[in-house]
Structure 1
Amino acid sequence: MNPRHIELVCPGCDHHQMEPSMVISTQCRSCGQHMDIRDGKPVVRPKHATRLASPGNPPLQHGSTGSAKQPEPKTAKPRQQGFLRKIFRRERPPRMVDCYHCQRNFEVVRDAQSSQCPKCGGYISLRDYEIDHAWRRRIQTRGDVKILKEGSIIGVKVQCHDLTVLGILAAPVDCSGVICIRSHGKIVGNVTCGELRVERGAKVEFQGDVRAGKAYIDGDVKAQLTCTGTIILEKKAHLQGLARAGGLVVKAGAKHSGLMEVVRPQVAG
């Protein structure tokens, strides 16, 4: 047996499957049961429900008898609330992620903290990060990363799904989802993403190559931008630099300074 993998048995259906030895949670490939891994053994994750206590009814006052005895609670009411909770609070549907080892796209449970690529067997972290200080370690996850106003990531590579920048980002980025920038600054290194969004009022200079599926710009951007889809410049937006894209939409009041090249999708011969 490979020492880097362990064999797990699903507590629900007794299905056997191999997982990386570092895995902390996974999903049964037979019945879909989500499991936490503790000391190398699978444990069904408990479902926590928040109970809201309703204020008790005030006692009924009667002139002759005083306080009346409160009626006994009905036993069917909690069951009815649990049934309604199941209807209106369904578990969120699974999502698709890209393996950062072999780029295979596969489905994972939305609340999972880690998974394993079905193609190469690589360990995939799904942890979310919220950065509120100076961060100097590499981030490799297919969860989401949010840099708060007080936070910064400088000089280390970031691999994630969605990335939101409210603070300082000066690092190369590999983002399988959306990069949303709402701050000012210079981004050092190459940037790859599914979608680039620069919000209104943001000013950013990309000092490396930027490759995206599509781009939405409502701020001031200086970049060498390549998109397989369309670049949209909103009103008062300004893009400086070479733009390669399937199309360029410049709305009234927007401006593009630089060359524009039309990129056509390559057809396999």
Structure 2
Amino acid sequence: EELPLHRKLEAMWSRHRNRVVSCFECKRKHEVSDAASSTNCPGCSAHIDLRDYKITTSFSRSIRTRGDVHLTTKGDLSSTSVVCSSAIVEGKLRGNLECEESMTLNLVGRIPGRIGAQHMTVERKSDIQCFRRVRVTNIDIKGRMSGEIVASGSVTIYKTGALDGNVTAKSIAIEKGGMFSGQLVIGQANLTQGELLSETKAAEKKSESDIPLGAAQPLHAT
């Protein structure tokens, strides 16, 4: 069962006594105390920030942490680069945000920077415009979203959701009442970060998706 947002917040802040983190530089993993605010990689000695960040006002410094980020409704995050474990975004996001695990978007507004996560959720009351390609493993769209999505896994549009934009994914599912407008490429699961879909290449593989509003059955493309 889907957790409400406040429960997601509680789950995000409450952790086990110990956890395993990976080094940003050499990717080596090691166990750290949950109480630690930072550590050094036993392999390459690189510093690793473990702090959680709660953004309640204007914030412009870059963040690279194995902790979590909560951008509150009054927060204004203009950092060029933010890298974290998980994030909940309710305020103004101007820069790039990359989550190792999950990202929850619960806002109305524009997102000009690059965003990416293993699992992304666009909450029901959200209405967002993404100007850069969104990269995820899986994404659940419960609100309104416009922008291009590249998913190595699945794209799910719930009955309250609407997506306007092109999708490249391994699979897509649209619940009855969900809306999708855009071009669809299924099976392109191995796009790398720097790989671009040229218009010619995309035209060869894209199939137009014209799904009527409130389609009688969910669309499952595999």
When normalised by structure 1's length, the TM-score is: 0.61
Name the CA distance, whole Å, in 2 between partners of 1:102 and 1:174. Answer: 18
How far apart are residue 264 of structure 1 and its match?
4.8
Q: Considering Cα pairs closer than 8 Å and 6+ residues apart, tell me whether 1 or 2 has the greater RCO.
A: 2
Cα distance change of structure 1 residues 237 and 109 upon mapping to structure 2, 3 Å threshold = same
How far apart are residue 119 of structure 1 and its match?
3.9
How far apart are residue 176 of structure 1 and its match?
0.6
Name the CA distance, whole Å, in 2 between partners of 1:263 and 1:117. Answer: 37
Cα distance change of structure 1 residues 122 and 232 upon mapping to structure 2, 3 Å threshold = same
Name the CA distance, whole Å, in 2 between partners of 1:182 and 1:138. Answer: 22
**Alignment partner, residue 139 of structure 2:** 215
Percent identical pairs in the alignment equals 28
**Alignment partner, residue 123 of structure 1:** 47
Aligned residues: 176
Matches within 5 A, 1:96-135: 96-135=20-59
Equivalent residue in structure 2 for 1:165, among 81, 84, 89:
89
Which of structures 1 and 2 has the bigger CA Rg? Answer: 1
**Alignment partner, residue 227 of structure 1:** 151
SS at structure 2 position matched to 1:208: coil
How far apart are residue 109 of structure 1 and its match?
2.7
**Alignment partner, residue 66 of structure 2:** 142
How far apart are residue 105 of structure 1 and its match?
4.4
Cα distance change of structure 1 residues 262 and 162 upon mapping to structure 2, 3 Å threshold = same
SS at structure 2 position matched to 1:96: strand
Cα RMSD, aligned residues only: 1.9
How far apart are residue 221 of structure 1 and its match?
0.7
Contact 1:93 1:109 in 2 (8 A): yes
**Alignment partner, residue 247 of structure 1:** 171
Contact 1:98 1:176 in 2 (8 A): no
Cα distance change of structure 1 residues 133 and 246 upon mapping to structure 2, 3 Å threshold = same
SS at structure 2 position matched to 1:173: strand
When normalised by structure 2's length, the TM-score is: 0.73
**Alignment partner, residue 257 of structure 1:** 181
The letter for the 1-side match of 2:35 is D
